[in-house]
Structure 1
Amino acid sequence: MYAYMLNLEFDCCKIVSAKRRGRRTGRNDCEKKVRHLVIRIDRFLAHHLGMRIASFKVSCCLRDKYAHNINDWIVCGVRKGIENLDLAFTCDKLSERNDWRNVGYYQFPTHNLMQGNESKLRHLSLRSCMLGADFNDRFSTLSSLVLSDVHFVGQADPLMFSSCLKLESLTLQWCFGLERLCFSLPHLKSLVVSNCPGLRGIQLSATNLTTFHCEANNIDISYLKVPNLEEVYVSQGGINVIHTFAKLEKDLPNAKYLVVNRA
């Protein structure tokens, strides 16, 4: 029955024998474990007989060394109408990471995704990847997008997410290469922007937005058309909490939950 499974999940931490879990593993052991996982995924997909793959999740420190294998996995999923794609290529806590230079980011191949309505992809989550800033209509069918520890390649346009017309939930955490963002999405309900170095401005013009969470050091936020915004959490460094809270209370009269914190 395994050859016809719709939901596939490969977690490096789970695919370890009970005997090895209790002992310390060195760098060579970790590399063997990663290589072992790659081989198993390759073999599994080679023997998959189902017409569809609804969900495909991988959690492992693969990085760019196995880019060719990862690309093949994505192509296989796209051909079988994948709806949920979740790729996490580091296992550490981003808030505790000291060195961001030696991660070896895998570049996500947006060109391997279907264009427009041909795509079945609805949910995409990427962790520790490089992503082209110009993804055009490759994400147009997404209803949720999570980008964590993602480095954008190329010039990031403030309206880069404007083609994601069906997007309802967007999370940007520790994303690099962004300067200003303008969100004018008709179906966006939830937006989380957390610790994105270099991001200096956010403009909100999303009529159905109900939840907005933002954690940053120095960022200018403009609330233009957000008549349904009810839950707001803002944590910024160096702000006057009382003044900021009073301004938000005035600008967002429909807010039911309003929190302002000085980071």
Structure 2
Amino acid sequence: MLATFVIGLREGLEAALVVGIVSAFLVQRGRRRSLRLVWTGVLLAAALCLGAAAALQAAARQLPQRQQEQLETVLALVAVAMVTWMIVWVARHARTLRSELEGAASAALARGSAWALVAMAFLAVLREGLETSVFLLATYQASARDADGAIGASLGIAAAVVLGWLLYRGGVRLDLARLFRATGVVLVLVAAGLVVSAVHTAYEAGWLLAGRQQVLDLSALVTPGTVRAAVLQGVLGWQPRPTLAEVTGWLLYAVPVLALVLWPRRTHPAAPRAVSA
């Protein structure tokens, strides 16, 4: 549940920031009528994402077992690639994300049309929604309890909506850089767990033959039915008896990406002004 909660919160908050900033600019410029278009675009994008997720899930269930394992492997790897790109991009832009969005919204409105802002909101929700759908679908397939995952994702998205509304109303100010760094750490661990899941399903699909030997015995930590096992398996992707390929994949992904997220960002001082003689 924790993993899907963070996914829903992180992705939902990015979309909520765009929608909130667009809505605030329209209100400030006296374009309240255009808010209906913005929310129509948001609802349409959300519906498209739900439809795409449902279609992908239905198609996966109709496949033979071996092809299901192959699809799960591909989905897990695609989800890892998408979340890695998002983590890297946000790590570079977290401190200036809000000002960049406000600048883009201001420039769009300065051109005299609110349609560009409507498109910004629609594409933001569509992009984040599709990323969330793929990531959650891969996470569900790696988990034994879909209900908990769905509840966690719903709570995360609801929290993101509330935070987005509070930011829009000016009732709260968040340090987005710290928030995105904290959620980024959890997402890296979740993605590393998906790497382990991809290795496991690649075994079942017949795509991976090497590295099947057991190298660790974590059964004392990952005891089935315990809260600790739910956290270690559901968030970190640890298995009771991981193989060489699973441990290698987890380490090769988690260590460098965690270092990227946690590495201190340098703030570049403004260039000194030239002093005229």
TM-score category by the smaller chain? under 0.3
| TM-score for both structures, normalised by structure 1 | 0.23
* Structure ranking higher on relative contact order (CA contacts 8 Å, 6+ apart): 2
In terms of fraction of residues, the more helix-rich structure is: 2
